[in-house]
Amino acid sequence: MSRPSRVTTEPTGGDGEYAALLTRLFAARRAGIVFGLDRVAAVLARLGHPERRLGTVAHVGGTNGKGSTAVMVAAMARAAGRRTALYTSPHLASLRERFVVDGELASEAAVVAAAARVAAAGGDTLTFFEQVTAIAFVLFADASVEVAVIEVGLGGRLDATSVIEAPVAAVTGVAMDHQDMLGDSLAAIAGEKAGIWRRGQRVVIGCAGEPEAVPWLRDAAVAAGAASVRVVSEEDVARVVAADVGLLGEHQRVNAACAVAVMEAMADVDATMRMTEEARAAALREVAHPGRLEIVSERPAVLLDGAHNPHGAAALARFLAERAERPRVLVLAVSGDKDVRRIVTPLVGVVEMVVASRYDQPRALAVSELAALVREVGGGGVICEEAATLSAAVDRARVVAGEEGLVVVGGSLMAVGEVRPWFRVMARDPMVVSDPGPRS
C-alpha cells in the first residue's frame, strides 16, 4: 500500500548555514548527557544573561505530560494576548520545533544567528542540550517575549533549563523512567524532578504520575521555601476541564488541569494574564501537540504516539482499548536504553498484531531483540512480524489493517519523528540530530 500522496520528505536548509549548524550540533552529541549548571551559566553570563529577559517564566517538568502541559500553558498565554515563547524537547522532524514564538517555529536564519552568538561566547564547549538551551534563551530574549514556557529536558535539579529563575514551576507527575540517570527509586526520581523548586516560587504539582510521589514533591517545595504549593486533584480535573481538550486521551485532561493551575499561578504574578473560563476553554480546544495521540491519516486510521516509557505506554494502551477499529496493528520501535519490557507489556494486550522495527538511529533496539520480547510477553496471543525499517513496517501494517483497521506507531518519539513527515506536509531537517542517550 503506497503512502499518502500529500507526503513530503524534502528537507529544508538549502543555504547551507543551517545544515552546517546541525552537523556541529550532531558532533556535540558525543559528549552525551552531562548534568550541571555551571557550564551553561558561564556562557549565558558572557551573553549578557538572556535567560533573565524572558518575561514571566513557567518552568515545567515531570516524567510524562510535561510537553503537553507546556504546550497548553503557551496556548492559553497566547490567548490572553501575551507574546509567548515555548521551548520543548525533543523535536520530531526539525530542530526548529524546539523554538516557538507566538505559535510560529523560529526561522532557520534566526536559529543560525543565535547559535553563532552562543558559539562566540564559548558555547562549543557545551553539550548538545546545553547549546540548544542557550540558543533558545538568546532567540526568546531577542524576540522580546512577555511570557516564556520552558520544558525541562531531563530530571530537573541539574538540567540546563534550571539556570532560569522562574516565578512559577510545575512537575506534572513522577513515574519510573531514566533510572540510569535519575536514580533507581521513585523517591530518588522525585527528588531530581523537585530540584526545579525555588524560594518564593508558586509551585504546581500535577496528578499525571504515581500518587505516592506527590507528598515528596510537596515536602520538597515547602523545604525550598515556595510561596505557595498547589496540588492538582481529580476534582480539579473535573472542575476546570469541563470542555473538550484538543489533545486526544483522558490523560490529556489531567495535563490540562495542571496547565490551568500553572496559568492561574502565572496570573497571580502578572494580573494581565487572567482569563475568562470561556477563553481558557477555547484555547484548550484548539491546542495541538504533534506525535502525541495524533491521527495523521484515515482508512486505515494511522495514530502516532511516543509512548516512550512504561507510564506513557500504559496511557496509550488505555486509549487503544477504547477504540472500535479492528484489527489494531502496532508498529513498535523502542530505544535500547529504556525499560523495554514494561513498555511492551501493556501494548501487546490491546492489539492484534505487532510489527517490530527500529528507527534509523543508534539508540534503537535491534529488531530481533524487540520481536523476541514481544513474542515472549505476548505468549502466543499476538501475531508478531519483523521489518528492518519503519517504512517497511508502516506499509505492512497498513496492508494488514485494511480500510477499517487502526495502525499505531509508538514506543519512541524518535520513531514518531521519522514517520510523521510521510503523512504531514512539514519542514524536515537535512540530517537527524536527536538528543543523545545515556550511553552516547
The tens digit of pLDDT for each residue in 275-324 reads 988 898 899 999 989 999 999 999 999 999 999 889 889 999 999 999 99
The tens digit of pLDDT for each residue in 11-42 reads 454 469 999 999 999 988 876 677 789 999 99
To 5 degrees, how large is the angle CA 406–CA 401–CA 317? 35
Please determine, for residue 8, whether its predicted confidence score (pLDDT) is greater than 80. Answer: no
Single pTM value for the model: 0.90
Predicted pLDDT of residue 241:
62
Q: Which grid cell sits at 185?
A: 527509586
What superfamily in CATH does domain 17-286 come from? Mur-like, catalytic domain (3.40.1190.10)
Percent of the chain with pLDDT over 70: 93
Predicted pLDDT of residue 314:
93
Please determine, for residue 130, whether its predicted confidence score (pLDDT) is greater than 70. Answer: yes
Please determine, for residue 6, whether its predicted confidence score (pLDDT) is greater than 60. Answer: no
Predicted pLDDT of residue 5:
34
Predicted pLDDT of residue 247:
87
Predicted pLDDT of residue 437:
67
Percent of the chain with pLDDT over 90: 75
Largest CA distance in the chain: 61
The tens digit of pLDDT for each residue in 139-166 reads 999 999 999 999 999 888 999 999 999 9
Predicted pLDDT of residue 182:
72
Predicted pLDDT of residue 170:
98
Of how many residues is the chain composed? 440
Predicted pLDDT of residue 234:
86
What is the mean pLDDT of the segment spanning 402-410?
Answer: 97
1 vs 429, higher pLDDT: 429
Predicted pLDDT of residue 436:
78
What is the mean pLDDT of the segment spanning 173-199?
Answer: 84
What is the mean pLDDT of the segment spanning 5-14?
Answer: 42
Predicted pLDDT of residue 250:
83
Domain map of the chain by residue range? 17-286, 294-422
What is the mean pLDDT of the segment spanning 178-197?
Answer: 84
Q: Which grid cell sits at 402?
A: 485494511
Question: Binning pLDDT at 50, 70 and 90, where does residue 425 land?
Answer: confident
CA distances from 400 to 111, 221, 309, 404 (A): 42, 51, 26, 10
Its CATH class, for the domain covering 294-422, is: alpha beta
Predicted pLDDT of residue 46:
98
Question: Binning pLDDT at 50, 70 and 90, where does residue 426 land?
Answer: confident
The tens digit of pLDDT for each residue in 59-103 reads 999 988 999 999 999 999 999 999 999 999 999 999 999 999 999
Please determine, for residue 10, whether its predicted confidence score (pLDDT) is greater than 60. Answer: no
Predicted pLDDT of residue 184:
76
Question: Binning pLDDT at 50, 70 and 90, where does residue 398 land?
Answer: very high
